[in-house]
Structure formats: structure tokens, C-alpha cells
Amino acid sequence: MAHPFRVPDDLVVNGLEFLPDGLVAAVGPERTVRFMNSCAERITGVRVEDAIGGDIREVLPLQDLAGASWWDLTDPWHGLATRKGHRERLLVMPSGREVLVTAKYVRAAPGEPVEAVVLGLRDAESRRRAENETAALLTTVAHELRSPLTGVKGFSATLLRNWDRLTDDQKRLMLETIEADADRVTRLITELLDVSRINTRRLTVHPQPLDVGAVLRAHAHRRVASGDDAATDAGGGAFVVDVPDDLGPVWADPDRFEQIVANLVENAIIHGRGTVRLSARASELDGVPAVDVLVVDDGDGIDPQHRELAFSRFWQDGAKQGTGLGLYLVRGLVEAHGGVIVAEEGPAGGAQLRATFPDHDI
């Protein structure tokens, strides 16, 4: 007599084969594989024709990460009669393939024996990629934190041991260095928190009218104070600031706008060379008046095929410094204002990053 559990042929043809995940169904006390779609074949490396009619425990000899047989550990056909299956778990095939497995136990009624076991399978590559990205982030953050903290530790220890032998100028220099390194650590932590808020869509901004020219000039002057070349409006230094006198305000959150400008300038210094030009101009976004903020360098620019990739996490384009989160953070901050940011070719061939902020007062 045929077993009562059967996958209808029309369902197989019209539905299960089109699932984005793998699916394997084993029926009866013999655990016979009655159905396996092509996605499951791709994920497991087991051919459908080899699987159909076989014992699912032998067809898919799944193991946990410790090497123990998953079938022995779970034994769907015995144990508590109230079990309905299990949530997704990372398991391993003998070939080394990692598979994300979800199971459903089919019973005629609660408490009755298991009539069928249906497995949902997913490729673990995306999860492994996410884990690798997390590991890369932790490595990068550890590296970025270690440098300023080493400076803070070294200079503070020197001050404590040699306070009476140091001149006032030496003390001031060490304290200023400690303050700068502490600011660097604070800035990195702030960026990491903002990246987390962007990922979870919890980033909030409070736009208000800002004098964009004043903000850009103040930032250029701070870069000069930190050791970069003198900024002038006529050129010849590390920075050129060009904002028309009649340009209206930019609507942006003051702290977030400072972050955006700082990251764009930092990106231009790391990836470009020569003069960094900071400018703003009247623009339009979706029919609404807006302000374009542009940061341009004299480097080699960004290849057209990399211009969208530049805003992804960890993009560094060969740079040896930085976390690779700067432009990813900038895009999240600009979009939180309702704006857009694009990478373009600058007038002299370098990279031009253009952030557009709509006028929220309209």
C-alpha cells in the first residue's frame, strides 16, 4: 500500500522547483527520499538521481561542527512526540560543504509518529561572507585603535615619570598629542556606532539652515592647524575653498554635516594627491531646490566601474590606512538627509564626490 504522504506532481513541477532554497523530503520509517529539488542538488553536491529512493541519513550524512552525526543527535523519528522540527543550524557535509539546515517533522496528528521529514537547505556562503566581513572589521578597528592608544599610553607614561625634567613646551606638545589621539579614538567609535545605526535604519538627523561656506572654511583651517599646508581661496596650498557669496544655506544636521565633510576630505587626502578643493553651488533634486557640496582632489580618480563600489563597506582601493568605512558612512548620512551622493570625474581628472542636500524649508 502506498504511503499516505506524497508530494503532488503538479506541486513539484509548478512550485517546489522554483523555490530559492533547497528542499528534500524523506517519507516513512525507512526514511526514503521522495523529493529533492535542483537547488538542493547544487547546495549539497548530491545528484538528485542518486538521492531519490535512498535513506536520507546516507544521502545527506550531515554533521555538526564538532564532527558528530546530526541524525544521531536529533533522531527525528524518535524522542519527544511533540517535536515539530528545528530552526536553522549550520551543518557540514563530509565533503566539507557548509549547509544551513531547517527541518520540519510531519505527523498525521500531534503525538503521532513522524511520517515525513522535510529539510530546507541554504548555502552558507553568504553567512560565511558576513562573518569574514565582521572579522575584517574587528581586525581593522583593532589596528586603528592600537595606534592612538599606544601614543596616549607612551606620552602619559613619559609625563608621569619625567614631569619635573620636562620643559613646559615639551609637556604641552605631549598633552596636545594625547588630546589629538583621544579625539581620533572618539571619532572612530562614533563612526562605528553610526555604521551600526545605518545598518539597522535607526540613524536620525535634525536638519537646520547652515552657512556651508563657513563650515567648509572652518574645516580647511582645522586641517591646516593639524599640519596640512595653508589653505587659500586662490590656490597654492593643500586646500581651496570656493563658495559663492549669494549661495543660500544648506539644510543639514550640524554635527552630521561636519562628519560628512571630514570624511570626504579625509578620503581625498588618502586616495588623492595635490590640492583638495571644497566648494558648494545651488542645485536641484527631484524638482526641489538643493545645494551641492563638492570635494575634488588631484589624484588619479576613481575608475567608472568602481564608483558605486566606493560607497560600500571596507572599500579602500589599495590604501594602507583607514577603516574603509568612510564613504559608506557618508552615503548613509547624506541619504538620512534625503539627499544623494555620487562619485564623478573631477575637472582635472581626479575624483569628485558630490553630495546633494535638498532644501527642507520648501
Q: Is residue 85 part of a domain?
A: yes
pLDDT of residue 251: 93
Residues 83 and 105 in one domain: yes
pLDDT of residue 200: 78
Boundary residue ending a domain (123, 142, 163) = 123
CB 55 within 8 A of CB 27: no
What does DSSP say about strands 276-285 and 239-242: parallel, antiparallel, or unpaired? parallel
pLDDT of residue 233: 41
Residues 219 and 350 in one domain: yes
Q: Nearest 5°: phi and psi at 22? A: -75, 150
Boundary residue ending a domain (106, 123, 140) = 123
DSSP 154-183: HHHHHHHHHGGGS-HHHHHHHHHHHHHHHH
Q: Is residue 2 part of a domain?
A: no
Q: Pick from 42, 128, 31, 127: which is nearest to 74 by CA?
A: 31
Q: Pick from 259, 266, 245: which is nearest to 351 by CA?
A: 266
Give the three-class secondary structure for 184.
helix
Residues 169 and 118 in one domain: no
pLDDT of residue 150: 87
Longest Cα–Cα distance of the chain, Å, equals 98
Q: Is residue 153 part of a domain?
A: yes
Query: Would you give the distance in Å from CA 102 to the centre of its chain?
Result: 26
CATH number at residue 143: 1.10.287.130
DSSP state of 16: G
pLDDT of residue 230: 43
Q: Pick from 86, 72, 85, 73: which is nearest to 114 by CA?
A: 85
pLDDT of residue 79: 78
What does DSSP say about strands 98-107 and 288-296: parallel, antiparallel, or unpaired? unpaired
- Grid cell listed for 43: 547546495
Boundary residue ending a domain (70, 98, 123) = 123
Please classify residue 343 by burial: count the beta carbons closer than 10 Å to its beta carbon, then call 0-12 exposed, 13-18 middle and 19+ buried: buried
Residues 250 and 288 in one domain: yes
pLDDT of residue 191: 78
**Mean pLDDT of successive 10-residue stretches along the chain, which has 362 residues:** 50 64 92 91 92 94 90 89 90 89 92 92 79 71 79 91 92 90 83 80 89 92 70 56 92 92 88 87 93 92 86 67 77 93 90 92 52
Domain count, the chain: 3
pLDDT of residue 236: 44
pLDDT of residue 362: 45
Non-local (6+) Cβ contacts of 150 within 8 A are none
The domain in which residue 16 lies consists of 9-123
CB 168 within 8 A of CB 215: no
- Residue 77 to residue 82: CA distance in whole angstroms: 11
Q: Beta-strand (E) ranges in the chain?
A: 22-27, 32-36, 85-92, 98-107, 114-123, 208-210, 239-242, 250-252, 276-285, 288-296, 340-345, 351-358
Q: Is residue 3 part of a domain?
A: no
CATH number at residue 69: 3.30.450.20
Buried/exposed code over 163-187 (b: 16+ C-beta within 10 A; e: otherwise): eeeeeeeeeeebeeebeebeebbeb
Q: Is 0.95 surpassed by the pTM of this model?
A: no
- Residue 333 has a CB neighbour count (10 Å cut-off) of 25
